[in-house]
Amino acid sequence: METIFEISPNATKIDKYKEAIKYIESLVADEKDLYANLANICAILKIYFKDEFSWVGF
Determine, yes or no, domain membership for 6. Answer: no
Determine, yes or no, domain membership for 2. Answer: no
Query: What is the reported pLDDT for 2?
Result: 56
Query: What is the reported pLDDT for 56?
Result: 85
Determine, yes or no, domain membership for 56. Answer: no
Q: Are 20 and 44 in contact (CB under 8 A)?
A: yes
Q: What band does 48 get if pLDDT is binned at 50, 70 and 90?
A: confident
Query: What is the reported pLDDT for 55?
Result: 84
Count how many domains the chain has.
1
Determine, yes or no, domain membership for 34. Answer: yes
Which residue range is the domain that position 32 belongs to? 13-48
Determine, yes or no, domain membership for 25. Answer: yes
Determine, yes or no, domain membership for 4. Answer: no
Determine, yes or no, domain membership for 36. Answer: yes
Q: What band does 21 get if pLDDT is binned at 50, 70 and 90?
A: very high
Amino acid at 20: A
Does the pTM exceed 0.85?
A: no
Quick one: 42 exposed, middle or buried, by C-beta within 10 A (0-12, 13-18, 19+)?
middle
